[in-house]
Structure 1
Amino acid sequence: MLVEDFIIYVYCLVDDFYQKEITIPLRTRGREPKLTDPEVITMEIVGEWSGHHTDKGIWEYFKGYWLPLFPNLPARSHFVRQASNLWKVKQLFHQYLCHQLRADTCNVHLIDGFPIELCKLTRVRKCKSFKGYANYGYCASKSMRYYGFHGHLLVDERGIPVEFTLTAENVDERDAA
């Protein structure tokens, strides 16, 4: 499958979901953005699939290679703001995909945890983010001590992500499930 066909397929999938599930307007004030919400979500999905894991990387990829498909691509700051405001829609889309792929009805699920480092250990005293929630931890697979959170990813037997949980470092994976 060509990348252009993949982009169109993902857009059709996202747009069909969006038209069916999002029945009330998300914005009540201000001008409508140049780029539609399904286009932004499509760009994020395709950008992640193609190996661009930052908003800046995704925006630069589409600006450099796919501008004919997205002629209304706004400035990067507008794109990033619009994409971050769609977090709830993306969460609903993920649940929709899990239901369509029947990943939520599987009998076998695997859970794995990974560290989410807030800052280096030397900077912990100055770190004001998430005070009282973050904790010290140790990741044996990376042989590192860190200050932050513990992410837990729940996947089905085919490897489809079903759920993601963020906990303090001292919470066990079995308790997070």
Structure 2
Amino acid sequence: NQIRTPKLSDIEVIALILTAEYLNIDSERELFRRLPKRLSECIERSVYHRRKKRLFFYIESLREQMAEQMTQGENHYIIDSMPLEVCKMSRSNRSTICREDIKTSPNHGYCASQQMHFYGYKLHAVCSSAGVFKHFDLTPASVHDIHYLNDLKHLMSDCELNGDKGYLSHDVQIDLFESCNIKLHVPMRKNQNNYKELPWIMRKTRKRIETLFSQLCDQFMIRRNYAKSFKGFATRVLAKLTALTTIQW
């Protein structure tokens, strides 16, 4: 929408975004300190920041196309979620981060696997057995994991999903199977009637997505937040997921 032609094209800006994530440069200020002079003269830091958020859907399209080609013929996927803190609990009542719209505002939630209360969002993700993220979404922290399955009905079909006990619901399993032929495998609780232990291979396969979440936390520092708006926060998360997918590609 600019009158003048920018010195860096959109694809060059996207390449700069992904390269920064690959090199573990998590701060835009640090990125522009390291950029060669010939690049830093082509785009200002504030312009880079605005263009990065405007290119959200193009980056997501790039990630989807790579993931689609790498998961062709795949019919077994793993689903899980992880907490993403916006700030510490002690600052949550006075924090204004990502509160520009009530529909996308963060809130308080609880992570059972880590036994922690947190303030922020949940990252819901589906990956293949080879470790490629197929779909993902961000929800406020209070949204239960099982609600993400309603969105998957419109995105996937004719496959098998492997989840943890957070997705345990007989009605949801039947609905997924009847509406889009998705078989949801969830470990049963030991006090349930007709208890059967989940096969060993399915319990082992679930570790694939946990390894990916660990990579996002340690290598890509996904839990470190510098964003002030939800659009900026979502773009940071997407850039890290796309960088990981690009490395796999």
TM-score range, shorter chain: 0.5 to 0.7
Alignment length (residue pairs): 145
Indicate conservation of the 8 Å contact 2:110/2:142, yes or no: no
Whether contact under 8 Å (2:7, 2:42) holds in the other structure is yes
1:7-156 equivalence runs, <5 A: 27=1, 29-61=2-34, 63-64=35-36, 70=39, 73-101=42-70, 103=71, 106-128=74-96, 129=99, 131=102, 133-156=105-128
CA shift, 1:116, in A, is 1.9
Give the aligned CA root-mean-square deviation in angstroms.
Answer: 2.6
| Residues 115/31 of structure 1: CA separation in 2 closer, same or farther (3 Å cut) | same
> Which residues of structure 2 form unaligned runs of 5+?
150-249
CA distance in 1, matches of 2:11, 2:61: 13
Where in structure 1 do 4 or more consecutive aligned residues deviate above 6 Å?
A: none
Percent identity over paired residues: 26
* Unmatched 5+ stretches in structure 1: 1-26
TM-score, L = length of structure 1: 0.68
SS in 2 for 1:126: coil
Q: Residue deviations 1:68-118, cap 9 Å, x none? A: 6x47532222222222211111111112212222x2652111122111223
Aligned pair in 2 of structure 1 residues 105, 175: CA closer, same or farther (>3 Å)? farther
Q: Distance in 2 between matches of 1:104 and 1:110?
A: 16
Aligned partners of 2:5 and 2:117: how far apart in 1? 46
TM-score, structure 2 as length reference: 0.50
- Could you say which structure has the greater relative contact order, defined with CA pairs below 8 angstroms and 6 or more residues apart? 2
For the 8 Å contact 1:43–1:58, the answer to whether it is kept is: no
**Counterpart residue type for residue 170 of structure 1:** S
Change in Cα spacing, 1:143 to 1:60, as seen in structure 2 (3 Å) is: farther
